[in-house]
Amino acid sequence: MASVQLEAVRLTKRFGDRTAVDGLSFTARQGEVVGLLGPNGSGKTTTIRLLTTVLAPTSGEFSVAGVPCTRPGEIRRRIGVLPESSGYPGHQTGEEYLRYHARLFGHGRPDAVRAAERLLAEVGLAERGSSRISTYSRGMRQRLGIARALVNDPAVVFLDEPTLGLDPAGQRQMLAIVREIAAGRGATVILSTHTLPDVEEICTSVLILHKGKILVSGTFGEVTRAVPTQQYAQMRVPIELVGRARQALAGVADLMTEPADERPDILRISLNGRPAADQGGTDTGMNAALRAVLSADVPVLSFEVEGARLSDAFLAMTGEGVR
Ligand SMILES: Nc1ncnc2c1ncn2[C@@H]1O[C@H](COP(=O)(O)OP(=O)(O)OP(=O)(O)O)[C@@H](O)[C@H]1O
């Protein structure tokens, strides 16, 4: 099994009488992409600031690549950070900027030149390395920020909202880069985000924070199974029989129907608040829906059970919706 690169034990941060991070314990292994999720104010940024040694914990401890938090200077040499918002010197070119940071980490001049070139290629900026940063789009700046975070070949990379404000193409590019940081470099990535589809796409595990505490953690499957979420199925019936199908479904306890978007011939059926973990119950419910409609002499043209969604689990746990 891959080695543990990050370990937090009862990590806590208080600001006055407000506890921003409250007894966080978790581990992350080499090559994992861990999604750090939670509503506004749940403690994501504070957690990243603690783990990147910007803030000192009030209590608890953590280690990065085996280095304890009592040696913050050594930790800083082993991590890369893309903060929530960072400024860039617009007058410098991407190349100059990365060379400068490579030099800060002790590379000699020729090494720094090579490192800048390699990193620019890695984040898709090879063509624009000699342009001034002031001419870069937001997506290009974010990618330059990632390149800077990789300059010291870090064991753990922290990315705070890396896709925020990017257009769909920029988001895709960013996610591909993040995936490669974990799969290609074997680094551990801690990714704080509000964008759950990103998480579903690239994270190997998820930590959901609420009021500074971990509500639930695990793989995507474990998290969506751990909480009561609605399970939905879509049933398509002949349009002239929609009314009859609805009537038949109304007689099935525990089911509710709602119209699917702009498709009057599709009924979206949900099991009322049954835990997704209760797979037996879910099957029975959906089978009951099918039986009811068929026995009302309504042919079912298609029937599809939707997969559990992280956003539903998140909503069920925190009471707050997300994008
Ligand atoms: N320097 C500080 N002084 C006082 N309170 C703080 C400080 N930094 C954060 N907090 C408080 O700690 C809590 C957690 O904030 P944090 O910024 O970590 O949340 P977050 O999950 O990153 O939120 P967002 O998604 O809005 O960025 C909030 O209640 C916040 O007001």
Residue 18 CB less than 6 A away from ligand 1 = yes
Q: What is the pLDDT of residue 320?
A: 63
pLDDT grade for 277, boundaries at 50, 70 and 90: very low
Residue 38 CB less than 6 A away from ligand 1 = yes
Residue 193 CB less than 6 A away from ligand 1 = no
- Tell me: the pLDDT tens digits for 129-144? 999 999 999 899 999 9
Q: What is the pLDDT of residue 230?
A: 66
- Tell me: the pLDDT tens digits for 152-176? 999 999 999 888 888 888 888 999 9
Q: What is the pLDDT of residue 63?
A: 97
Residue 41 CB less than 6 A away from ligand 1 = yes
Q: What is the pLDDT of residue 308?
A: 66
Nearest Cα residue to atom 25 of ligand 1: 40
The answer to whether residues 299 and 238 touch, using CB atoms and an 8 Å cutoff, is yes
Distance, C-alpha 228 to centroid of its chain: 20
Q: What is the pLDDT of residue 181?
A: 95
State the ipTM, two decimals. Answer: 0.95
pTM: 0.79
CATH number assigned to the domain with residue range 4-88+136-225, chosen from the 4 options 3.30.70.360, 3.30.420.40, 1.10.1030.10, 3.40.50.300:
3.40.50.300
The 10 Å CB-count burial string (b at 16+, else e) for 179-199 is: eebbeebebbbbbbbbbbbbb
Q: Does domain 232-307 have CATH number 3.40.50?
A: no
Residue 74 Cα to ligand 1 middle (Å):
26
Taking the domains of the chain in order of start, what are their residue ranges? 4-88+136-225, 232-307
Q: Does residue 283 register a pLDDT over 60? A: no
How far apart are the two ends of the chain, measured CA to CA in Å? Answer: 34
